[in-house]
A and B are shown apart, each in its own frame.
Chain A
Amino acid sequence: MSADPLGFRFVSTNRRVREDRRFVAGHGHFVADVALEGMLHVAILPSQHPAARIVSIDASAALAMPGVHYVLTGDELAAATDPLMNGLDTPKVRRHPLAVGQTRYAGEWVVAVVADSRALAEDATEKVRVTYEPLPFVMNAEEALKPDSPPVHPAHGSNVLLDRTFVWGEVDKHFAESPRHLSFRVTWGRNSTVPIETFGVAASWDPWRDMLDIWASIQMPKYPDQIARALRIPANGVRVHQDVDVGGSYGVKRGIKQTVLVAHLARRLGRPVRLIEDRLENMRGGDAHGPERIFDVEVAFNDDGIVKSMKIRALDNAGAYAGRAPFQLGKPIGAIVGPYKIASVQYRAQSVTSNKAVQEAVRGFGQAPTNYAIETAIDKVAAATGLPRIEVRRRNFIAKEEFPYLIPSGSTYDSGDYHTVVDKVFAHIDFAGMEQERDRLRASGLLAGIGIAACLEPSGGNSSFEPLLNEKNTTTTWMDSCRINIDGLGFITVTIHNTSSGQGHETLVSTVIGEVLQIDPDLIRVIRPDSLACLPSNSPVGSRMAIMLGGAAFQAAQKLKAKLTRVAAHQFGLSADKVVYASGGVSDPSSELQLGWIEIINIAHRNFHLLPEGMEPGLEATHVMQVPTGNKLPQDGRVQMYPCHSFEFHVVLMAIDPALGKPEIKRYVIGHDCGTVINPHIVKGMTLGGVAHGLGAALLEEFVYDDEGHLITQSFMDYLLPSSHEVPEVEIVHHCTPSPFTVFGQKGSGESGYLGAPAAISAAINDCVSPLGISFNKLPIRISAIGDAIADAQHGKPKEQAK
């Protein structure tokens, strides 16, 4: 951390994370811990076919079983509810929680069985007979793009959800002027965040109060609105209990289909109903896969390695329904040139349906795959020019003094000092020494290499990709809010209006409010009221909470501080600007007059006759915060996407035993600059966790479908999550370039690590195997692929791009 010019008391100090206490004791409050009186349980019967017409459903044997209460089909549910929302304007791509008429991917939910226990419900699903008539299907995005491919939604007319080409700047001219060009393809495999807690939801319906109560493992902006809309009930009849702890999400816990299903059942049966996905339901039918993307990239550059222009075509396999998948092609537009001064970009974003499971938002919302493509391009420019990879990056980096920097696609980067971060990382690791170590490893018979990657984390978003990709969407705010109340005894209670999945919001707001009011954050209570008692908020997505919730808490605390000051100044007969607030008390520097915290509180709560004229009694303040810089709709395909841009720089030393093909990370260093850090423990955890998640995407994790359209990595035996053995010790080198757009200079960090780790690890492996004349252009790069490619290369088989 850089020197702290503002002299914070609590911000940036190593305070404990207050949420931790309940979790280490096993006293979290997760959705599976919610047991309602008389609650029934749901199990799901999925489709075995990637595409099939549902001919008939016979539930009689299941319904005859003791303890079985109900069998719900897609037809009944579709008649009682509205289709789930699409992000794009694609009204014929209809999505319901249970398949209606036909199934569109293997694992899609077809029937829901309700019973006294989950075990009984599972037993009963085996008695439900569904007759199918198989239909043609398509799994591959390039196949799906062809006009004669089997349409996943015949009514929509084709499999194309989105095909939009943006041209920012003089791309053709820059390509024509540039002496050097290269082109390549890289592919990002279908993976996701795969939290250890699956999605779960419990619902109860009170017909006498017209109230739907929801407890869910949720991280979804505007979740109650969507539930109300789908169920055709007033939004003030949906009460979401936001004090449910979420067991990991990182984007995917959106749960609309699950919630509509369970809420309908609770209403239909007059009993509380709960669905906790088991791992199989979650992996193949939880609709929580991530981007699966092919990038075709062309780069125009010169002999000095200066990149002038880029053409990127990104083709994403959305899966069977649209959801928010196409938008994940939109967010990367906000950092489409990475940390580089690339003058123009052509970007073609294509999203197609296929007979795979549905995508959901994944950490970074498409930014990590895009960074992998951009960083691969920079490495290839280095190889083509014979310049060191770091030298090409240094020559193309935006310089510190060029901020705020407007990129061609319309976003202005707030601040950064990329050259210094790189210098600090290189000094920390002794880069020349690392190169010698690599050479020593090579001399010992191993394949060894170094990977580097530099990238940005756009944060604090206002969701501008929505109006950019869908003209009917005119959203220009993505607010967040905070309310502070000081009670009559002087204790502070803060309300925040989201769920948490481990981001430490309670620590965040208590630290910020403690900083402003100059009181011990540990004395501040933070609660999450149910959604009907909430102010407008948009949940922890897009690395936004330090900026937006932290900002709202700061502004609300400033309002309270101003009120406390005014109350005290009034007692002295002075105006507020003549007195000094310090540590909860107010004094008049020109006299001996002072009032302490309790005295001011007492006046505000009990002595209306002592308050300034027109002042409301009590001490309460709210603030609803607008996204900094996010005030305009897109124009000409350009928009300010995110206010803040954190920077990360990865260096990886890798070794591979050629006989095994197993990549072993010898050293992992990341330079990280997210501006002012509010809680160092939290930011460190986000970064380390992000690197581990990125390692999974680079080496291990993929939802693989076979030729019959079935998911074959549907358990943790085959969808491999990094364990403590795979994740290396990661060294973090800090730097702090404050953002000019936030209250403390903070930027986002919730996606840090993940955004650059796949690119860096891929680059390290390719540096390892480059002496063999091979390279890998598809993630994940599995041990088996490495071993096979090395063996082929060593045995003189014809060189081709490895699998």
Chain B
Amino acid sequence: MKVDLRINGVNRSADIEPRKTLLDALRENFLLNGAHAGCEHGVCGACTVLVDGEPVRSCLMFAVQADGYEITTIEGLAPAPGELSVIQDAFCETHGLQCGYCTPGMILAAHALLQHTVTPTREDIVEAISGNICRCTGYGQIIEAVQFAADRLRKANTPRPHHGADKPVVEAK
């Protein structure tokens, strides 16, 4: 069936089987390969995308269910080709990855956290990425990356584009 999706700020449409997951549709119909299949049962988080700014497992959502929502994939975070967002750059600075397979989901989870939380504690970060399994890093340099990004975002003092709008930007508990 014909499905209209808004992906990374662009309206896209495709003829998609109703049983097809959002993950498979993103990869096969829209050639956005940044979201990855890991477990395909909602545990590992490698398929994470943002739906109205919140992390969602695209392996557990049908593409047809995403109609009408704002979908952000990892490809939507880089400000321009060859240019990284503050969070992406922070993952490079601390080497918050190795094989790179979980990384897009991890960065989107961190991005969602930092949209809501200006000064996250270590516990906030641990909680925010706890739905994303990384088998390479043991999480240490990922947590450092998110802390580093939070610091740089605070110092940049730029307003945060805020999806979803029902959660106010708050200081850490």
Contacts and interface: CB of A to CB of B under 8 A. Distances in A.
A630 to B, nearest CB: 27
B103 interface: yes
A194 interface: yes
B133 A248 contact: no
A561 to B, nearest CB: 29
B130 A723 contact: yes
A426 interface: no
A615 B97 CA distance: 44
B170 interface: no
Nearest to A717: B43
Interface in A152-206: 193-198
Given A16-B95, A23-B97, A503-B98, A688 B130 contact: no
A729 B125 CA distance: 13
Given A195-B101, A247-B100, A725-B130, A25 B78 contact: yes
A791 interface: no
A28 B101 contact: yes
A659 to B, nearest CB: 23
A250 B78 contact: no
A30 interface: yes
Contacts of A730: 138, 140
The range of chain A's interface size is: 35 or more
Name which of A502, A688, A724 has the most chain B CB atoms within 10 A of its CB.
A724
By secondary structure, the B interface counts as loop
B28 to A, nearest CB: 8
B34 A502 contact: no
B48 to A, nearest CB: 11
B141 to A, nearest CB: 6
A157 to B, nearest CB: 39
Interface string A18-32: 011111111110101
Interface string B67-92: 00000011101100000100011011
Nearest to B125: A724
Interface residues of B, number: 58
B33 A26 contact: yes
A502 B135 CA distance: 11
Nearest to A754: B138
Interface string B34-53: 11111111011010000000
A21 B103 CA distance: 11
B126 A717 contact: no
Contacts of B135: 193-196, 248, 250, 689, 693, 721
Interface in A658-700: 681-682, 684-686, 688-693
A46 interface: no
B139 interface: yes
A592 interface: no
Contacts of B73: 26
A119 interface: yes
Contact of B74 (A25, A198, A246, A279): A25
Given A717-B43, A730-B138, A724 B95 contact: no
Nearest to B83: A25
B93 A16 contact: yes
Interface in A717-758: 717, 721-725, 727, 729-730, 753
Interface in A195-224: 195-198
A193 B134 CA distance: 12
Name which of A22, A682, A725 has the most chain B CB atoms within 10 A of its CB.
A725
Contacts of B75: 25-26
Interface in B116-141: 122, 125-127, 129-141
B131 to A, nearest CB: 8
Name which of B32, B35, B73, B88 has the most chain A CB atoms within 10 A of its CB.
B88
Nearest to B87: A24
Contact of B143 (A24, A245, A684, A724): A724
B41 A247 contact: no
Interface of B: 17, 19-20, 27, 32-41, 43-44, 46, 73-75, 77-78, 84, 88-89, 91-95, 97-104, 107, 122, 125-127, 129-143
Closest A-B pairs by Cβ, 9 of them: A26-B34, A23-B100, A247-B101, A502-B98, A502-B99, A692-B138, A26-B74, A688-B138, A681-B95
30 contacts: A20-B92, A23-B97, A24-B88, A25-B78, A25-B88, A26-B74, A27-B34, A32-B37, A195-B135, A245-B100, A247-B36, A247-B99, A247-B101, A248-B136, A278-B37, A279-B38, A279-B40, A502-B99, A503-B98, A685-B98, A685-B141, A688-B138, A689-B98, A689-B135, A689-B137, A716-B41, A725-B126, A729-B140, A729-B143, A753-B138
Given A193-B135, A198-B37, 8 more contacts: A22-B100, A23-B97, A23-B103, A24-B104, A501-B98, A684-B95, A723-B130, A727-B140
